[in-house]
Chains A and B, each alone.
Chain A
């Protein structure tokens, strides 16, 4: 048995509704660490495939911190990266990678992608994940709108600041 994206979303919803600040869950070789953020909507998630070793716990916690720092950078819509798309269309927004890692469009191989071109997204919609040494960092849209373009191929290396998606705001 393994978890689907819907399962993870459901777990996140349960944590959000609970009075717990932190949950670590291990299911069949997959480890999920959830921690509630300071803000109401900031429940951050890091999903890590368990490397089978004890220290993975500490590493997962670090990943949460890293991921939150990453989203904090990505959410204000990267003024430098937004430039190119914004120049031609004031409603267009680039979603850039908050860190260097492997770009994945889906939560796991074979699962449906988080978004397709044409998908409607909210600001906190997860649109991709970036893997750094087996730790998955989710990337959020940061804006409400429609996905117009997805640039990197699934499973390829993306750099810090590289444009991942274009979204037409509105």
Chain B
């Protein structure tokens, strides 16, 4: 039975993005919105909007039963969870399975397999995918023994964490006990799971991830990789595809490792396998798998011409993989920058408020994914992402130049934004040379906040 109506259990730009594809496919949309988002752009674009609860995510977007009830009550055939919120909660996928609602994503068992870092690591090892040297620990004394084996510097991570939350870097083994105790306490409070694990910190690493699509029966293809090394405190700021400066052999090895991992799981739907590439040795290690559509998926769409949301829906609908690996021919270069309502001059603090005026760029090779128009509100309850500007061109230099002009052409008043900061990233000589490591933004901020202000402030 084909999917005719989809409930979107998300907000912001990704809700708009999903609606866009649904319209293209002739699928009706129901938006499940919190009180703060009743008048948002996606609420106006959807065929119907139902208010699922108060503004706080725990009272609305994170309520599994309410979301499924909303789907049943509006006779939606399927739920698209977007990213964040419930997208990687096995509880939503399994309740959908029990109630006969199609979950547009992997199975609950697959979400569980990749959501727990320890299990994901074991799956990676079983699939002959290299992992960073490390160990799970349950006590400070265990941690000391493991750390002696692994060697400093060490990264302490929450087993149940994600998106960089709950991570601590330890440079001296003497500081390890305190860091482990703090990480365990924080992880317990944030994720309800106090387990931590230690792994070797790669001094100069790049974040390279592979976009995959699986049919749920062991078949899978990849759609190339993305480099997301431009990060601040593990939050991605600029993403591009292909990853600059990788040898053909390394690129192929990354793609094949990602496919081994997802085939082993008989993964269903769209997903991303993240790797850490050691800039010094060229070795790569599995980091984690994201079992959802990613924020940065548009760069992959730009170079491959594949609508990833449409493919997610097709797989969920039982159509399998409509694209063969041999049909994937990435063309040119694409770069995305995230436009966040945050103030780089005040340590990137969030800047919620009402948009007074906004003018998004329109030019050759430019795509803007956004839910922000004049009068839109940026509520304080959710993440600060306002838009993604994606530039596509025949080569990297052209894509950078187009994105740089697009940023200059953007007018946005009413809230602070990171646009000037993003322009600095694109202007930076090291970034332009390509292949920066994940320490790039921190070094840039240390070196020249004044310079940045002088040029763009």
Contact = CB atoms under 8 A, between A and B. Distances in A.
Interface of A: 69, 73, 99-102, 131-133, 135, 156-157, 159-162
Interface of B: 35, 50-54, 59-60, 65-66, 68-70, 73-74, 95, 99
B66 A162 contact: no
Contacts of A132: 65-66, 69
B48 to A, nearest CB: 10
Given A99-B53, A100-B52, A157 B70 contact: yes
A161 B34 CA distance: 10
Contacts, number: 45
B413 to A, nearest CB: 28
A83 B68 CA distance: 31
A133 B65 contact: yes
A133 B69 contact: yes
9 contacts: A100-B50, A100-B52, A100-B66, A101-B69, A133-B99, A156-B73, A157-B74, A161-B35, A162-B51
Contacts of A131: 69
B257 to A, nearest CB: 38
A93 B53 CA distance: 20
B51 A160 contact: yes
Contact of A100 (B70, B95, B99): B70
A161 B51 contact: yes
Q: 10 smallest A-B Cβ distances: which pairs?
A: A157-B73, A133-B65, A159-B51, A160-B53, A160-B51, A100-B52, A132-B69, A159-B50, A132-B65, A100-B66
Given A69-B59, A159-B51, 15 more contacts: A99-B66, A100-B50, A100-B52, A100-B69, A100-B73, A101-B66, A101-B69, A102-B73, A132-B66, A133-B68, A133-B69, A133-B99, A157-B73, A160-B52, A160-B60
A106 to B, nearest CB: 18
B73 A160 contact: no
A68 to B, nearest CB: 13
Contacts of A157: 50, 69-70, 73-74
Contact of B54 (A102, A156, A160): A160
A117 B54 CA distance: 29
A100 B60 CA distance: 9
B88 to A, nearest CB: 20
Nearest to A131: B69
Contacts of A159: 50-52
A160 B69 contact: no
A132 B53 CA distance: 13
A99 B65 CA distance: 11
Contact of A101 (B54, B59, B73, B95): B73
A101 B72 CA distance: 10
Contacts of A101: 66, 69, 73
A135 B65 contact: yes
A132 B279 CA distance: 52
A12 B53 CA distance: 28
A102 B370 CA distance: 33
Nearest to A161: B51
A156 B75 CA distance: 12
B53 A100 contact: yes
Contacts of B68: 133
Given A133-B95, A135-B65, A160-B60, A73 B54 contact: yes
A135 B63 CA distance: 14
A126 B69 CA distance: 22
A102 B35 CA distance: 18
Contacts of B35: 160-161
A161 B36 CA distance: 12
Nearest to A102: B73
A71 to B, nearest CB: 14
A162 B70 CA distance: 14
Contacts of B59: 69
B35 to A, nearest CB: 6
Contacts of A100: 50-53, 66, 69-70, 73
A141 to B, nearest CB: 21
A102 B68 CA distance: 12
A65 B51 CA distance: 20
Nearest to B58: A69
A160 to B, nearest CB: 5
- B66, B69, B74: most-surrounded residue (chain A CB, <10 A): B69
Nearest to B67: A100
A162 B51 CA distance: 9
A66 to B, nearest CB: 8
Contacts of B99: 133
Nearest to A101: B69
Contacts of B95: 133
B103 to A, nearest CB: 15
A102 B69 contact: yes
Contacts of A73: 54
A133 B74 CA distance: 14
Nearest to A133: B65
B47 to A, nearest CB: 15
B386 to A, nearest CB: 25
B381 to A, nearest CB: 15
A97 to B, nearest CB: 9
A106 B99 CA distance: 24
Contacts of B54: 73, 160
